[in-house]
Structure 1
Amino acid sequence: MAAEESVEQQFLVRLLNGSTRCVRFASPRVLCEDLKARVFEIAGIPPSLQRVVTGTREIGEGEALPASRDASCAVLLRLRGGKGGFGSLLRGAATKAGQKKTSNFDACRDMSGRRLRHVNGEKKIKEWNEEAGLRQLEVVAHDYLKKESQKLKNESSAAEDIKKFREEAERKSQEVQEAVLDGLRRAKNKKRGTDGKRKKIDMDDMASKKLRIMSTGKDSDQELMPPIHTGASSSQSFEDPSVLNPSPEAVPSPAETAQPVEPVEPVVNLQAPQEPPPKVIEELSFDNFQSAEELETLGMDRLKSELQKRGLKCGGSLKERSARLFLLKTTPVEKLDKKHFAKSK
């Protein structure tokens, strides 16, 4: 009797409704399929839907239950689906009518339970760390290009300064040459004018001298010079006693020899530069002008003189003067506004 009791094996099985049944087996080694068949007989649960769990371990098909005194196990059902959560809610909301379809699943979890945004963030950080060398190379390349551009800019500015200096030097050289040539030309013209003036004065002296000779019949230069006698005339004068000792009757008196001489005024042929005849300014007629813009062709000075003649203000720009003078075409001077008249001093 004691041997039989030692051979039997019993299990305390907890069913789905929470009740516990004692199931006995004749053999100490009990398979999982045998326990499921006994539970099917007791509770009517099909073996394919049963799950046998002892403690924290699930007994699979073909495994033997652990043999021990008063061993216990629980029978559970297999459930469809898996763990739901916020991700499943988002996917469900996308299928509802009127809801916008979303593509952001950062709040979902992966198979290890981590949020997708955390996983993606780690990937981005890893990639950023791997690209640190490339970023350093970009910074070095940027600094190099910046230095090269600054160097080219300095060289171009220096070339522009040299070009400007050369142009300025060439222009100054041309100005100096033109100034020297102009000075030489003026000096030459001035010398020509002095020579011509001297020649003109000499010609005037010769003309006055000729007039004096024609009026007196004698040359003042010849009066100063002593008479020159030839040999025959000199011998004759010494042989003729009348020449050496003239009689008083033969010698004429000073009154008889004196002849009246009219005073002759010297003629100076100095032609004064003729002044140009005064320019005749025609009287202004407003019938020839149809607008104030046409009056602007007269110029600033003419407009000023016309305004002064009529006692109006003559200041301002060309446009203001022409507009002020054009008022007289339609309005008499007496009816003009006082602001157009010049202040009396």
Structure 2
Amino acid sequence: MEVIVSSPRFSFSSWVFPDGSPVREVLTRFLQQQGLSSSADFYVHSNGRLSELEDPLQAGAVYHLEPRLCGGKGGFGSMLRALGAQIEKTTNREACRDLSGRRLRDVNHEKEMAEWLKKQTEREAEKEQKRLDRLQRKLAEPRHQFTDPDYQKQSHELQERLEDSVMKGLQASSSTQVRADEGSAAKRPSGEKSEQPLRKKQKKAAFWTGLDEMMSSEEDEEDDEESPSSSLGASAVMMKPRRRVEQSSSSSDCSSSSTDQTSRKQGTSREPQGTKSQQVDLSSLSCVSQLEALGLARLKQELMSRGLKCGGTLSERAARLFSVRALRPEDVPAALLAKKKK
């Protein structure tokens, strides 16, 4: 009988075998032609099914010879299952829509808001209860009670002792001050007592004339003269009254001169005040140079008394004052008037 054999190289050939030959004969002839020895590297299938080597050949059938592939022991399915278990499945479905077309996020928010409003009264009641509890804790009396009679007795005694000691200290300090004053008054000579107020008066009347420095230098000289040896003690004692008399005379002269100077200054200061109070008669002036002769300060005073601007140089002030010579106060241009203070 004749069968068609398809080799792994997609070549078809027609082979003739005796009737009743098994499928093994096809594989054996193919191995002989290719020069191969192992029949375990190929398998035969016909009509889409695997043919056993002991099955009989069918006349006119097509037998395909396929090489076997070297594979592992499998386990690919278990690998897929393990990989699927590792993939995190999301549980956030808020971006999805329900059957009515609304976002699940909006629906969930509405539910949460309704629940929150239901619990609003409970939250307010709980807040008020906490506030009342705080007030009660603040108003409650302290539980700690200190009742120790010995301690209280000692504290009272210490307070009394403190008051007594303070009073005794004040009395002692006042008595020592009185004794010190009496001793200093007894030690002071009569000349120094009469001399101290005179010096104070001299210092008050001296102002800036430098009399204080003179007196302090003379006092230093007196101290220096008292310090040398005892041989000069008697002469120094005799010279002191003379110097004091000279100091008193010089101080009186200085005080009189200072009073004269102050009176002169007051007189000179009063004279310009009398002149400043009188305004310049502008109608008697014929040119600006006459106003310039008054000076900057006098021109400023005249301008301010008339409510005009008082700034600028000497010539500007004189020209501004001369421009309003024949004008009434209401006719003065607004550009010349000074700004009123707010």
Structure 1 and Structure 2 fold alike (TM over 0.5)? no
The structure that is helix-richer by fraction is: 2
- Normalised by the length of structure 2, the TM-score is 0.25
